[in-house]
């Protein structure tokens, strides 16, 4: 096998898919329902990755009731339109296919609701490439990714030190560290170099090409 790991766990948003358009438009829709006009896209990028509840509270200091209303409005648009305002990062599908051919087990570990994760994978035709898909319940608002990573390892039947977690935000790195899984932070997503390193990223990849080189060093020779 030319790959370093027996299993590779991926985050979804900002790692496999560029979901910025759909997420931002759905957040704007939700905020407008509360009488808030937000046009600062850089500010809204903070919603890509963390649970919605956390970011609505952090940026807009909404009450629990208003946050629930905002999340409901967000999902009203997301499940019909926003989920498809999305694209695979260039090179991601070939990377997944290469890993699969090498006998590597693949999983998704995302704090996005499982029903949405499964639909995104189906929409892009990559669902068959994954051996395990781990997401959250629709009413779950926990940013701790470690239970999802543990669940993925259990389903794959792979020990922590033979797997690697790939993600673009600190939640991915922190979750991996807490479970004892090596991690690679991707800089083509929505987290910064400082964010990823401070959260414990073992390695960084500037691009999907660099990610492939880190995972399968023999493949580029």
Residue 126 contacts residue 86 (beta carbons within 8 Å): no
Strand partners, 94: none
- Write the pLDDT tens digit of every residue in 5-59: 999 999 999 999 999 999 999 999 999 999 999 988 889 998 988 889 989 999 9
Which residues are catalytic, by number? 11
Instruction: Decide: 29 and 74 in contact? Cβ < 8 Å.
Output: yes
> Given the structure tokens 């030319």, which residue do they identify?
2
CA 143 to chain centre: 12
- CA pair distance 191, 49, nearest whole angstrom: 9
Please give the residue that has the higher pLDDT: either 88 or 2: 88
- 64-78 vs 52-60: helix axis angle to the nearest 10? 120
Q: What is the pLDDT of residue 6?
A: 97
Nearest of 198, 210, 200 to residue 178 by alpha carbon? 200
- pTM value is 0.93
Q: Given this model, what pLDDT does residue 168 score? A: 96
CA 209 to chain CA centroid, nearest Å: 18
Model pLDDT, residue 141: 65
Q: What mean pLDDT is reported for the chain?
A: 94
Q: Tally Cβ neighbours within 10 Å of residue 145.
A: 27
pLDDT for res 140:
65
100 burial level (CB within 10 Å; 0-12, 13-18, 19+)? middle
Look up residue 207 and give its DSSP letter. Answer: S
Residue 1 has pLDDT above 70, yes or no: no
């Amino acid at each position: 096998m030319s790959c370093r790991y027996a299993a590779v766990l991926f985050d979804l948003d900002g790692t496999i898919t560029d979901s910025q358009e759909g997420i931002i438009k759905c957040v704007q829709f939700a905020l407008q329902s509360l009488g808030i006009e937000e046009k600062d896209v850089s500010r809204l990028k903070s919603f890509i990755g963390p649970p919605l509840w956390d970011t609505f509270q952090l940026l807009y200091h909404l009450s629990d009731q208003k946050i629930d209303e905002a999340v409901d409005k967000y999902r009203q648009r997301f499940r019909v339109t926003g989920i498809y305002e999305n694209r695979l990062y260039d090179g991601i599908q070939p990377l997944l296919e290469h890993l699969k051919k090498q006998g590597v087990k693949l999983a998704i570990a995302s704090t996005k609701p499982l029903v949405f994760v499964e639909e995104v994978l189906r929409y892009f035709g990559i669902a068959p490439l994954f051996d395990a898909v781990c997401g959250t319940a629709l009413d779950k608002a926990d940013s701790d990714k470690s239970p999802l990573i543990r669940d993925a390892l259990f389903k794959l039947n792979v020990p922590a030190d033979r797997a690697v977690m790939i993600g673009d935000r600190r939640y991915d790195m922190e979750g991996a560290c807490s479970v004892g899984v090596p991690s690679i932070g991707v800089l083509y997503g929505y987290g910064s170099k400082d964010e990823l390193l401070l959260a414990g990223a073992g390695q960084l990849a500037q691009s999907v090409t660099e990610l492939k080189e880190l995972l399968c060093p023999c493949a580029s020779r």
